[in-house]
Structure formats: C-alpha cells, structure tokens
Amino acid sequence: MVVEVKNLVKRYGDLIALDHLDMEVREGEVFGLLGPNGSGKTTAINCILSLLSYDKGEILVFDQPMRPTSYQIKKDIGIIMQNVAVIDELTVYENIDYFCGLYVADKKKRAPLVEEAIDFVGLNDFRKFYPKKLSGGLLRRLNIACGIAHKPRLIILDEPTVAVDPQSRNNILEGIERLNKEGATIIYTSHYMEEVEQICSRIAIMDKGRIIAQGTKDDLKNMIRIGEKITIECLTGDPNDLIDAIGELPFVASADAREKNLLVTTERGHNGLSSLVQIVHDKGIQTGRVYCELPTLNDVFLEITGKELRD
C-alpha cells in the first residue's frame, strides 16, 4: 500500500475538518479524491504530507509512519498544488533544475532528469523563458515538471488543470496517464468530473471530513438509482402536458420539461424508452430527436452528497 490513513481526526476548535477518516491508495493506481469545498480534501492531503498536525489517527506512506522529519519518504513524493509555485526570477530550465535539486544534489545526475522533465511536458521551445512570459497552460506544465523531475513514486496533483485552455488540459491529462504507466502512483483532485472519469482507476467521494463512497467509476454509478437519462424532443405540443402521466410510470425516477424537450430519468435496471415514446405519440405529439445517456460521475456526486461539486 502506498498510502494508508487510519481513523484520522483533525479539529480546528469546534470544527471537525477530518472525522475519523480512513483512506487507502494502492500502488500503481490513479486515485481520484472528490468533494465539495470544505469537505476536507486539502486538509487530508496536508496531513498525508505531514504539513499539518492532527488530533488522532495514523498515516503510513510506503508502509512507513509519516512524520515531519520523514525525509526519506518525502524524497519519493512529488507535489503539484492548485496554486502555481515557481520562481519568477528563474527561467523554465532553472526552475526545474532548482526544484529537482532539492532532491538530487549531484548536478551530473540532475541534468538528464531536468532534460527529461522539459521534454515530458513539452517545454523545449520555452526553456529560456521566464514564468511571466508563459501562458496559463504553459505555467501549469512548468509547475508539473518542477514536481516530477526527481522521478517520485507518489505524485499528488491538486486541481492541475484549473483555468487552462482545452489543448493544455489534454496535454496535462495525457502526461498524467504517461506518468502512471511509467510506474507512478497518483492522487488526483479535480472539479472536472470528465477528467476524473477519464484517468482515475478508483475514486473516493469526501464530505464532512470522511469518505462517503468509493470504488471504480462503475462501482459508484451502481450505487445510485438512476439508470438512464432520456431526452425526447417534442416538435409539436407542450412537453409539460406529459409530466403527470410519465411521472406515474413505476420505472420513472423523475420527469421534467425544458423548452421543447422532455427530460426523464429512469430507475436503474429498467429500460422504459418504448413506453415513454408511446405515451408521447398517444398524446398526438410529434417527436424529433430521442436519445439516452447513462449516468455520469456528476450524477453520482449529486445524488450522494446533494451538492454541486463547484459549491
């Protein structure tokens, strides 16, 4: 096990930030940690890194107790936090070399690591640039290079794609997947559900200082009652006139109308599309596009926590 958190309690006065938290991160996985603001994600990460003291519990990293002075453990950890942390007075190359030097003192050993990190994040054309000359996406990539140049076994990424363009986001996600394939274990937090679905092998949802659900994305989707989300475009008539009749069907979890569209969610294990279309036609309404979607991770999050992730 790469990370084991057992019965962790962290209080700030009367506020319980972590409430007997238990969490495991297995070797070789990309572990997604989700939760609304204030759920305890950042506090948990800071405790794992031994940047915060805690009131009760135990934290093991690489099967060893994690302490503020556990330097042998910390040298195998890479940290990329939400706020970009680079030095404005140093170039791209100098920044990566400086942060890598915190772990690898020998300059000869460090030089190829720095070159590999620059190549990995695609900053070869910007090695002599200062941070203020870089776009937001390039800054994020520099931040990642600074955190991974020393080849850590465990990498913690906290919102690494915030406020970057789609091209940079794809570049960052592809880089994370490559790091994982090369053997790194990754803890990943994000407000973008589609990213978590794309790259995380296992996901935990936190709320009020504890994990309330975890598993693969399919495991989590099987925890909720939603089976399908069906949209029926009504070319004639008013979809609001259908809400009561459709809502009485035993397999329907919810029914709503939005402009000319009828929006229906069904209970898991039921396929009621033909019945829904038949009711619409019986009402004399002509239909246009009809399509079904399986539940997303965002649906899971909303049903389990009752909150939008971006609260």
Examine residue 302 and state whether it is found in any structural domain, yes or no: no
Give the predicted TM-score (pTM) of the model.
0.85
- The answer as to whether 102 is a domain residue is yes
Would you state the structure tokens that stand for residue 1, as one six-digit string? Answer: 């096990």
Same domain, 200 and 275: no
Q: Is residue 52 part of a domain?
A: yes
270 and 198 fall within a common domain:
no
Give the distance from CA 178 to its chain's centroid.
Answer: 17
Residue 172: per-residue pLDDT: 87
| Same domain? 185 vs 261 | no
Cβ contacts of 109 within 8 Å, gap of 6 or more: none
Buried b (16+ CB within 10 A) or exposed e, 17-36: bbeebebbbeeebbbbbbbb
> Which two three-digit tokens encode residue 158?
């906290």
151 and 255, same domain (yes or no): no
Kindly state whether residue 306 falls inside one of the protein's structural domains: no
Question: pLDDT value at position 308?
Answer: 63
pLDDT confidence of residue 65: 97
User: Domain with 239 in it: what CATH number?
Assistant: 3.30.70.100
Closest CA to 38 of 207, 161, 157: 207
Mark whether 18 and 146 lie in a shared domain: yes
Q: Are residues 111 and 260 in the same domain?
A: no
The answer on 146 and 270 residing in a single domain is no
Rg (CA), the chain: 24
CATH classification at residue 102: 3.40.50.300
| Listed residue (238, 227, 220) closest to 298, CA to CA | 220
What residue ranges of the chain have pLDDT lower than 70? Answer: 307-311
Counting the structural domains of the chain, the total is 2
Residue 159 has a pLDDT of: 87
The residue with tokens 């994000």 is: 190
pLDDT score of 243: 92
Same-domain status, 112 and 256: no
Quote the percentage of the chain above a pLDDT of 70: 98
Give the domain range for residue 149.
3-221
- Any domain includes 285: yes
At residue 145's C-alpha, the angle toward residues 40 and 149, to 5°, is 100
Among 171, 204, 221, identify where a domain stops.
Answer: 221
- Identify whether residues 125 and 268 lie together within a single domain: no
